[in-house]
Amino acid sequence: MKIAIIYHSETGNTQKVANLIAKGVEKIEGVEAKCMSIDNVDKEFIEDAKAVFFGTPTYAGSYSWQMKKWLDTCKLKLAGKVGCVFATENYLGGGADNAELALLSELLVKGMFVYSVGSSEGKPYTHFGAVCIKDGDEDQKKRVEIFAERVAKNVKKLFNE
Amino acid sequence: MKIAIIYHSETGNTQKVANLIAKGVEKIEGVEAKCMSIDNVDKEFIEDAKAVFFGTPTYAGSYSWQMKKWLDTCKLKLAGKVGCVFATENYLGGGADNAELALLSELLVKGMFVYSVGSSEGKPYTHFGAVCIKDGDEDQKKRVEIFAERVAKNVKKLFNE
Amino acid sequence: MKIAIIYHSETGNTQKVANLIAKGVEKIEGVEAKCMSIDNVDKEFIEDAKAVFFGTPTYAGSYSWQMKKWLDTCKLKLAGKVGCVFATENYLGGGADNAELALLSELLVKGMFVYSVGSSEGKPYTHFGAVCIKDGDEDQKKRVEIFAERVAKNVKKLFNE
Amino acid sequence: MKIAIIYHSETGNTQKVANLIAKGVEKIEGVEAKCMSIDNVDKEFIEDAKAVFFGTPTYAGSYSWQMKKWLDTCKLKLAGKVGCVFATENYLGGGADNAELALLSELLVKGMFVYSVGSSEGKPYTHFGAVCIKDGDEDQKKRVEIFAERVAKNVKKLFNE
């Protein structure tokens, strides 16, 4: 089962978190992950994927305009796939939760099944998606991997793969 | 396949829209719907359901505190189910879109796969969920049924039922 | 007292609503309005303005990436001014409420005093800002003007102008 | 100039942050603060206040239903005052940013001038309002006070007090 990870990153922080997401989902047997920048996506991989993660920095309390532009203008068929998010911010209260929810709202419009695990698997909870301050401290990095692994496990179950 | 429809309604408007949702989902063969007020839910039906719709009036630009209280305190296992929403408002710009998105954010925390069809099946689009002004004019009512029918069709496909 | 109206418009709908906002605010004595596209803003006018309206179409349930890009990259000092919004959408439930709230959240980060009148002056209420379906029917157009006039009246009072 | 601080707190965390807000705003000469729980508000003080802070814990990624109930049913005249928020959450990504934005959206409907300082006064930035994990570490507590002090300074300037 393929899982695509699409990110926008200027400083490299969000890209690093994307790599942790890949590491986390590949802990589940049979899952193949691929990270790709919005500047260079692998369309075929995305089309085959059962789930797609979207990662963004937080700009002024929401997701970046580059990610918004990419989503508004991309012609990829995302409907019917599971959509998940992660975000980086520079400090607590920097708006990452809101960036994630805004990004998820765009995925809903694409017809995706939007998913975050939430509090359903016990602690650590992931309310809307993984969050890191800059590229994350050790605890945050660990949470990213746990989040990604749980998503992969449940998406696999959902699609009987 | 069972689909539960849970609503909070003071004036009766949201209850009427709940009935339209039920009518819409039952257009799909093999789907059984049940409407229930937050004051009197059928727990067993909800547990068996593959999808749950939540309907709310718009209070001050968001969903009602009664619905929020019910969700914050309910002990039902909703994780792994598909979650959808609908809302009523008293006039255009009354905040129903925001009420829906706020409600969906709570469903994410519950571990649901949140879904709205969006623009993925052509017009009429349903961005976050069905919206009616009061109990809906003819056009709005028709959209509610189309939305519900599409959700049921795609949830059935998702779960191979 | 100057009030600036900044909009992004592709089809012309949002531009038409911007003109109604200008008409509404100029009903208050001593208020001078100026409409400007994000492609060609009058920086001096904006700097002198006590309030700035931002108008956007709804793209995929939020404000346009062009408006987001403009806000993320503009260097204008907006802090301490009152910030208001308006949005167009193509149909009820098209996400304009959410587009407005997302836009307001960006204005908060700029240090603006964000304002919508809300329900504080009786009907018609304006929850987050004026909303029109396409360029608005007669009722919606009237609401836009009332909203704009009320904002101008209260901003004038706030700044003792 | 009076500034009211209204909070809902179950564990005591949000109450502690309310006290820090009071400490911060009183650093500005001539500012009198008063903290009050939603269960026991001083209506006269609120009516005289130029600004009101609202503090909430984060419940399932949004503000508490108790605060929502209080706001939906309170009859206090808040229009024309400045409205600000703060929130506590149990861990990073717990939804406090979203709780704050949702709370601010309700204040807009009340006719308040919603304000967060944002990035307008340099670091530390406060995107939508102060955020603490539980009752805050030293750095978070310091940010709360700086946020409160900046709000008081700018509200005083706004109202020429």
- Indicate the pLDDT class of residue B93, thresholds 50, 70 and 90: confident
Cα Rg for chain C, rounded, in angstroms?
14
pLDDT over 90 at A161, yes or no: no
Of A135-139, C77-81, D90-94, which gets the smallest average pLDDT?
D90-94
DSSP-derived 3-state class of residue C128: coil
> Residue D97: closest CA among chain C residues belongs to which residue?
C105
Contacts of C37 (CB under 8 A, 6+ apart): C6, C7, C8, C9, C15
C110 contacts in chain D (CB < 8 Å): 118-120
Task: State the pLDDT at residue D161.
Answer: 84
Task: State the pLDDT at residue C6.
Answer: 98
Asked whether the beta carbons of residue B95 and residue C93 sit closer than 8 angstroms, the reply is no
- Indicate the pLDDT class of residue B161, thresholds 50, 70 and 90: confident
Cα Rg for chain B, rounded, in angstroms?
14
For residues C156 and C161, what is the distance between their CA atoms, to the nearest angstrom? 5
Domain positions in chain B? 2-158
Looking at chain B, the whole-number percentage of residues with pLDDT higher than 90 is 94
Interface partners of B (3+ CB pairs, < 8 Å)?
A, C, D
C105 contacts in chain D (CB < 8 Å): 101, 128
A107 contacts in chain C (CB < 8 Å): none
Q: What is the mean pLDDT of residues B94-98?
A: 92
Q: What is the mean pLDDT of residues D104-122?
A: 97
Task: State the pLDDT at residue B8.
Answer: 98
- Report CA B40 to chain centroid distance, whole Å: 17
> Residue D106: closest CA among chain B residues belongs to which residue?
B60
Q: What is the pLDDT of residues D37-61, one digit of tens each?
A: 999 999 999 999 999 999 999 998 8
Asked whether the beta carbons of residue A94 and residue D127 sit closer than 8 angstroms, the reply is yes
Task: State the pLDDT at residue D138.
Answer: 97
Task: State the pLDDT at residue A19.
Answer: 98
Q: What is the pLDDT of residues B36-82, one digit of tens each?
A: 999 999 999 999 999 999 999 999 889 999 999 999 999 999 999 99
Structure tokens at B70: 């019910």
Q: What is the pLDDT of residues A31-83, one digit of tens each?
A: 999 999 999 999 999 999 999 999 999 998 899 999 999 999 999 999 999 99
CATH of region C2-158, choose from 3.40.50.800, 3.30.590.10, 3.10.580.10, 3.40.50.360: 3.40.50.360
Which ipTM was obtained for this model? 0.97
The closest of D6, D15, D1 to D152, measured between CA atoms, is D1
